């Protein structure tokens, strides 16, 4: 589902590579946690996957799409196949919960009828039923993040990338978000989660890839994480 | 529309630009008409001797008709010439009396209307050929003073036309720059939303669309406003001033011409407005909505 083969990314030659020959293979329906200190290269890794950045060298194939052969004009098509959740939610402040989720469908030209059919179902999955008309600023951080997750999965992507989704949340809300991610994974979506929350990693007992100084320090199934 | 003042400024400049475009077009049409009218009155008069046989003068008329640059040839017999003289001097009894009392002194005349006033050399040389020259009682008259006037008007028109083109060009560029700036600001104001749209996989045209549409709306509204401005200017000048001309500009004609060509002029304005809007916003979005990755 996700294949990185000796991928390197260097922003500035003087500072050395941010990612150094990273190779990861993620199977369909897997739940993979990427851990590492700030600056270890987690965010760079995700930006390579969403094609916000190009690798300096190495090969990336996601869902059968070879990034070397991907034209700039086809980047939107790629991004429609990947759901992304950000640490800072990136919700539109002037739109309601419902509208924020519907937005992801609108921009790819889904009909209103289908939007009306799909959005409530997805809001139900993330346990936000009844909050459709709230504005983002009226919600707690955990709720906002679940709106963002709803928006990321409303197009039923096969891959969901969550970049420190619990980074700004207190433990209780963080767990609400993680539970939703597990639920989505059970429905068959490949989930790639980055975090530096030791507690979450240890409780989830999933495959853990640790990145240190741009290199893979360990890659263990059902692994734990120590800071 | 959060940057309202900027939008208003963009619209205002666009209205000014389009009004100048429209004014130039109308003025040009009016000048062309003025020149055509005056040119039409100008002719070359060839005076024939009284003893030229009718067959020879008929032949001369048909030969003149075959010259290039000849628009029209009219033959006036001695009687026709007299009638024309009487008609032209109907309000001057003294001049009338001077002629009607004696035998008709007016020569038979051939009036030649050239197509282009500046190219009458061929006609001149033909008229000065010996076999043609010997038929004439006097040198041909070239309505010389009128030609000088026409030259002046033509020259003035050309200068004004050039000024018009330059003004339109300058204002179009200023206008495009301001729209460009407005769109740039609009993009800046919505950068978060644009980032999100892009991350969610919105296509380039989907993101660009609203900005291009925004400047299209400026173009369309400005076109309509500029046409309304010119229209009310005509109404005001005809009602209040009762002026029929403003120097070289024949307001009555211009007003009529504007009325007759209203639809095509409105179309022209819309076209120019839409063109300026689309070009500037396309460049702005290309430049500031970076779609390429590093």
Note the pLDDT tens digit of each residue in A136-171.
Answer: 999 999 899 999 999 999 999 999 999 999 888 888
* Structural domain that includes position B135: 43-142
- Please tell me if residue A186 touches chain B, with a CB cutoff of 8 Å: no
- Please tell me if residue A53 touches chain B, with a CB cutoff of 8 Å: yes
pLDDT at A169: 85
Out of B110, B142, B174, a domain closes at B142
Residue A215 φ/ψ region, left for φ over 0, alpha for ψ in the -120 to 50 degree band, beta for the rest: beta
Task: Quote the tokens at residue A188.
Answer: 């068959």
Most A CBs within 10 A among B194, B200, B291, hence the mutation to make, goes to: B200
How far apart CA B252 and CA B244 sit, in angstroms, is 5
**Are residues B162 and B279 located together in one domain of the fold?**
yes
CB-side neighbour CA atoms (13 Å) of B216: 8
Q: What is the pLDDT of residues A18-64, one digit of tens each?
A: 899 999 999 999 999 999 888 888 888 999 999 989 999 999 999 88
**Are residues B161 and B228 located together in one domain of the fold?**
yes
- Please tell me if residue A88 touches chain B, with a CB cutoff of 8 Å: no
pLDDT at B294: 46
**Are residues B131 and B258 located together in one domain of the fold?**
no
Neighboring chain B residues of A52 at a CB cutoff of 8 Å: 199, 293
**Are residues B32 and B71 located together in one domain of the fold?**
no
Neighboring chain B residues of A86 at a CB cutoff of 8 Å: 199
| pLDDT band of B246, cuts 50, 70, 90 | low
Instruction: Note the pTM of the prediction, 2 decimals.
Output: 0.67
* Among B residues 209-228, those touching chain A with beta carbons less than 8 Å apart: none
Which alpha helices (H) appear in chain B, and where do they start and end?
A: 4-41, 54-65, 78-88, 93-100, 121-127, 130-133, 144-189, 191-199, 204-236, 251-260, 262-288
How many domains is chain B built from?
Answer: 2
- Please tell me if residue B2 touches chain A, with a CB cutoff of 8 Å: no
Residue B10: inside a domain, yes or no?
A: yes
**Are residues B218 and B279 located together in one domain of the fold?**
yes
Neighboring chain B residues of A84 at a CB cutoff of 8 Å: 199
**Are residues B159 and B30 located together in one domain of the fold?**
yes
- Please tell me if residue B193 touches chain A, with a CB cutoff of 8 Å: yes
**Are residues B171 and B83 located together in one domain of the fold?**
no
How far apart CA A222 and CA B122 sit, in angstroms, is 104
Q: What is the pLDDT of residues B84-125, one digit of tens each?
A: 878 877 777 777 777 765 677 888 888 888 877 667 777 878
The DSSP-derived string for chain A is -EEEEEEEE-S-GGG--SEEEEEEEE-TT-EEEEE--TTSSHHHHHHHHTTSS--SEEEEEETTEEGGG--GGGHHHHHHHEEEE-TT----TTS-HHHHHHHHHHTTT--HHHHHHHHHHHHHHTT-TT-TT--GGGS-HHHHHHHHHHHHHTT--SEEEEESTTTTS-HHHHHHHHHHHHHHHHTT-EEEEEE--HHHHHHH--EEEEEETTEEEEEETT-----
How far apart CA A29 and CA A184 sit, in angstroms, is 10
How far apart CA A13 and CA B67 sit, in angstroms, is 83
Q: Which of A75, A86, A107 sits opposite B206 (nearest CB)?
A: A107
- Please tell me if residue B111 touches chain A, with a CB cutoff of 8 Å: no
A94 CA to chain B: closest CA distance, Å?
Answer: 10
Out of B142, B162, B196, a domain closes at B142
Nearest CA in chain B to A101: B200
User: Which domains occur in chain A, in start order?
Assistant: 2-68+80-220 (3.40.50.300)
pLDDT at B291: 55
Q: What share of chain A in percent tops pLDDT 70? A: 98
Using a 10 angstrom Cβ sphere, with 0-12 exposed, 13-18 middle and 19 or more buried, the burial of residue A114 is: exposed
Most B CBs within 10 A among A62, A68, A75, A154, hence the mutation to make, goes to: A75
Neighboring chain B residues of A75 at a CB cutoff of 8 Å: 201, 291, 293
Neighboring chain B residues of A90 at a CB cutoff of 8 Å: 192, 195-196, 199
Q: Which of B200, B206, B292 sits opposite A104 (nearest CB)?
A: B200
Q: What is the pLDDT of residues B180-207, one digit of tens each?
A: 888 888 888 888 888 888 888 888 888 8
Out of B122, B142, B162, a domain closes at B142
Q: What is the DSSP letter of B233?
A: H
Who's near B111: CB < 8 A, 6+ residues apart? B43, B44, B45, B46, B72, B73, B74, B75, B76
A78 CA to chain B: closest CA distance, Å?
Answer: 7
């Amino acid at each position: 589902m996700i294949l990185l083969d000796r991928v390197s990314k260097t922003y500035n030659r003087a500072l050395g590579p941010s990612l150094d020959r990273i190779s990861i293979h993620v199977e369909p329906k897997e739940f993979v946690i990427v851990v590492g200190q700030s600056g270890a290269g987690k965010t760079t890794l995700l930006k390579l996957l969403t094609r916000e950045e190009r690798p300096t060298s190495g090969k990336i194939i996601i869902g059968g799409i070879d990034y070397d052969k991907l034209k700039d004009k086809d980047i939107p098509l790629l991004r429609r196949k990947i759901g992304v959740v950000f640490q800072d939610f990136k919700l539109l402040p002037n739109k309601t919960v419902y509208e924020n989720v519907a937005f992801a469908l609108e921009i790819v030209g889904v009909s209103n009828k289908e939007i009306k059919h799909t959005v409530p179902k997805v809001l139900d999955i993330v346990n936000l039923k009844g909050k459709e008309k709230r504005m983002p600023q009226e919600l707690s951080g955990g709720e906002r993040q679940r709106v963002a997750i709803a928006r990321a999965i409303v197009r039923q992507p096969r891959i969901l990338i969550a970049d420190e989704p619990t980074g700004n949340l207190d433990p209780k809300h963080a767990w609400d978000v993680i539970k939703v991610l597990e639920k989505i994974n059970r429905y068959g979506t490949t989930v790639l989660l980055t975090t530096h929350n030791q507690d979450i990693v240890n409780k989830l007992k999933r495959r853990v890839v640790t990145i240190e100084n741009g290199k893979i320090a360990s890659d263990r199934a059902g692994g734990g994480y120590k800071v | 529309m959060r940057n309202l003042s900027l939008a208003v400024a963009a619209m205002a400049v666009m209205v000014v630009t389009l009004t100048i475009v429209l004014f130039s077009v109308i003025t040009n049409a009016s000048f062309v008409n003025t020149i055509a009218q005056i040119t039409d009155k100008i002719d070359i008069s060839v005076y024939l001797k009284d003893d030229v046989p009718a067959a020879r003068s008929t032949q001369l008329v048909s030969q003149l008709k075959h010259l290039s640059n000849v628009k029209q040839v009219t033959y006036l017999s001695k009687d026709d010439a007299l009638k024309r003289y009487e008609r032209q001097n109907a309000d001057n009894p003294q001049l009338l009396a001077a002629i009607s009392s004696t035998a008709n002194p007016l020569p038979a005349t051939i009036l030649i209307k050239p197509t282009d006033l500046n190219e009458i050399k061929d006609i001149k040389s033909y008229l000065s050929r010996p076999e043609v020259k010997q038929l004439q009682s006097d040198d041909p008259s070239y309505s010389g003073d009128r030609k000088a006037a026409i030259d002046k008007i033509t020259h003035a028109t050309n200068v004004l036309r050039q000024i018009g083109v330059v003004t339109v060009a300058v204002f179009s560029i200023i206008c495009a720059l301001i729209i460009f700036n407005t769109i740039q600001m609009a993009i800046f104001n919505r950068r978060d939303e644009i980032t999100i749209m892009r991350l969610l996989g919105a296509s380039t045209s989907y993101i660009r669309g609203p900005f291009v549409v925004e400047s299209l709306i400026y173009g369309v509204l400005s076109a309509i406003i500029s046409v309304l401005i010119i229209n009310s200017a005509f109404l005001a000048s005809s009602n209040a001033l009762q002026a029929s001309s403003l120097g070289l500009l024949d307001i009555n004609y211009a007003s009529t011409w504007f009325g007759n060509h209203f639809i095509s002029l409105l179309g022209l304005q819309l076209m120019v407005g839409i063109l300026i809007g689309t070009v500037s916003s396309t460049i702005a979005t290309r430049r500031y909505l970076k779609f390429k990755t590093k």
